[in-house]
Chains A and B, each alone.
Chain A
């Protein structure tokens, strides 16, 4: 249930960048989440709808780009994705593996409307 704190952070980062871009409205938020980050999309969306209400982010749609957990076996150099459960290298059975992707958690970009955009 730390999605409340997470959502607060997303809102404050989005508002900061929207202000810098002189936006009048934020329509879309693009978030990158690795499979190994323990964040629940639905819960973030739920908090978001309430928290963003009186801001220029109100009504903005959240897009979650899920990055699969990817491992690299240091024994046999095989790259493999984590299925459902953490497991040794499917090729050689070694547990000498490195996690190369799946721990990302950042706000990638936002889509905004700017003053005068309509007249373009």
Chain B
């Protein structure tokens, strides 16, 4: 005779609980943290380097680099740009989780930072399932990836606070239906803040920088 035991517990709850602690800690220190997600090759590191370049005279920025393999290519580029970077090797896992994030922030000089940028593992599926305790989830969708991505990866678009449509300088050379792309985004995440830009040429990059500066200021004031 078996007994049925009601559980009703969210399967990602253990991760979410750690994420809440991280966010509280960062908020108390008035550090804005952003979780930058994208597919491999979308230009995450280029985007981060340009963001650092634009903000480094006014803000102190730390970077956490998630990679599935123990290569420090990305972290080295950040360090060369003069900002503290921590490399987290996920050991083959396809995403960062809150525990890894916790180890990452412990290695950063938190008392000397205004902004933490987390470069998640290049992947449009798994990172969406793991809260990191950041304040904002950002996705970079580069136009060469195609206009069907919201339709194929609805989950990641659902959890976004900001969308960056990047590599817009390539639009003349590829087939990318912006209307179709934006329709998918609007269905999944109505009114999502969106920036279309090129980190390579700098086109419209300032809009993103202005917005980000505002978010840093808001957190500094209100916590």
Identify the A interface with B (CB < 8 A). 1-2, 4-6, 9-10, 12-14, 17-18, 20-21, 23, 27-28, 31, 36-39, 71, 85-88, 95-99, 103, 105-114, 117-118, 120
How far apart sit A71 and B154, CA to CA, in the bound complex (Å)?
Answer: 13
| Contact partners of A117 in chain B: CB under 8 A | 1-3
Contacts of A113 in B (CB 8 A): 1-3
Q: Mark B146-177, 1 if CB is under 8 A from A, else 0.
A: 00001101110010000000000000000000
Q: Which of A17, A96, A103 contacts B158 (CB 8 A)?
A: A103
* Distance in angstroms between the alpha carbons of A12 and B14 in the assembled complex: 10
* Docked CA distance A105–B9 (Å): 9
Give the chain A neighbours of B184 by CB distance below 8 A: 86
Convert B114-152 into 0s and 1s, putting 1 for each residue whose CB lies closer than 8 angstroms to a CB of A.
000000000001101110000000000000000000110
Could you tell me the distance between the alpha carbons of A21 and B2 in the complex, rounded to whole angstroms? 12
Tell me whether chain B's interface is mostly helix, strand or loop, or mixed.
mixed
Question: A110 near B126 (CB under 8 angstroms)?
Answer: no
Say yes or no: A1 contacts B94, CB within 8 Å.
yes
Q: List 7 A-B contacts (CB under 8 A).
A: A17-B5, A28-B2, A71-B187, A86-B150, A86-B187, A106-B8, A120-B1
The total of chain B residues at the interface (CB under 8 A) is 36
Flag B30-41 by CB within 8 Å of A: 1 or 0 each: 000000000000
Q: Number of residue pairs across A and B with beta carbons under 8 Å?
A: 114
Task: Label chain A's interface by main secondary structure.
Answer: mixed
Q: How far is the CA of A92 from the CA of B154 in the complex (A)?
A: 22
Within 8 A of A (CB), among B2-61: 2-15
Q: Which residue of B lies closest to A114 (CB)?
A: B3
Does B183 sit within 8 A of A, measured CB to CB? yes
Determine the distance from Cα of A99 to Cα of B155 in the docked complex, in whole angstroms: 12
Q: Please state if A2 and B93 are interface contacts (CB–CB under 8 Å).
A: yes
